[in-house]
Amino acid sequence: MSNKNKASITELLRASKLSITDTRVKILELFMNSNGALEHSSFEKLAGQTFDRVTVYRTLQTFLDKGIIHSIPTTDTSIRYALCKSDCSEHDHHDHHVHFKCEECGTTTCLEDTDVPEIHLPKGYAMHNVDVVVSGVCKQCK
């Protein structure tokens, strides 16, 4: 982890009015170092470091609330999380990209360049958020 990233993590936390703690910094480092979305269990295993389960739950919830990370829907029981891009904020939070889950390697990635297409709902429905999850085989596994 470069000093540049360390600094930007600190800034990110400060911008969200969160106090800068060890756990928060380390969890954000994990996000930045991994290319895919992380599920909850990843945080206890990784980095030779042990995090308390409770702390991880609370930290992720805080990050969600502040719009620092977003959750990606799955059809298994686990929820996956990924860092939000700059166009997310606490009160206006939506992902403008498609999520891709590889059936081979199991990783979920955000396809930043793939736009979420427009959806036309039936009359009477109000749309707040659209989640698109594509499953298939990724570049690396093909």
Q: Which of residues 29-48 bind DNA (CB under 7 A)?
A: 40-41
Q: Which does 19 bind (CB under 5 to 8 A by kind): a second copy, DNA, none?
A: DNA
Q: Contact positions toward a second copy, by CB under 8 A?
A: 71-77, 79, 98, 100, 103, 111, 113-114, 117-139, 142
Nearer to a second copy, 3 or 129 (CB): 129
Q: Which does 138 bind (CB under 5 to 8 A by kind): a second copy, DNA, none?
A: a second copy
Measured between its terminal Cα atoms, the distance across the chain in Å is 30
Q: Does the footprint of DNA cover residue 90 (CB under 7 A)?
A: no
Task: Give whole-number Cα distances, 80 to 4, 6, 19, 20, 107, in Å.
Answer: 26, 23, 24, 23, 10
Shortest Å distance, C-beta 25 to DNA: 9
| Among the listed residues 7, 8, 35, 58, the single contact to DNA using CB under 7 A | 58
Output 55-62 pairs: Cβ under 8 A, ≥24 positions apart.
55/23, 56/27, 59/23, 59/24, 59/27, 60/27, 62/18, 62/24
Shortest Å distance, C-beta 38 to a second copy: 14
Q: Does the footprint of DNA cover residue 80 (CB under 7 A)?
A: no
Nearer to DNA, 34 or 62 (CB): 62
Q: Are 120 and 85 in contact (CB under 8 A)?
A: no
Q: Does the footprint of DNA cover residue 15 (CB under 7 A)?
A: no
Task: Say what angle helices 3-15 and 22-33 make with each other, to 10 degrees.
Answer: 120
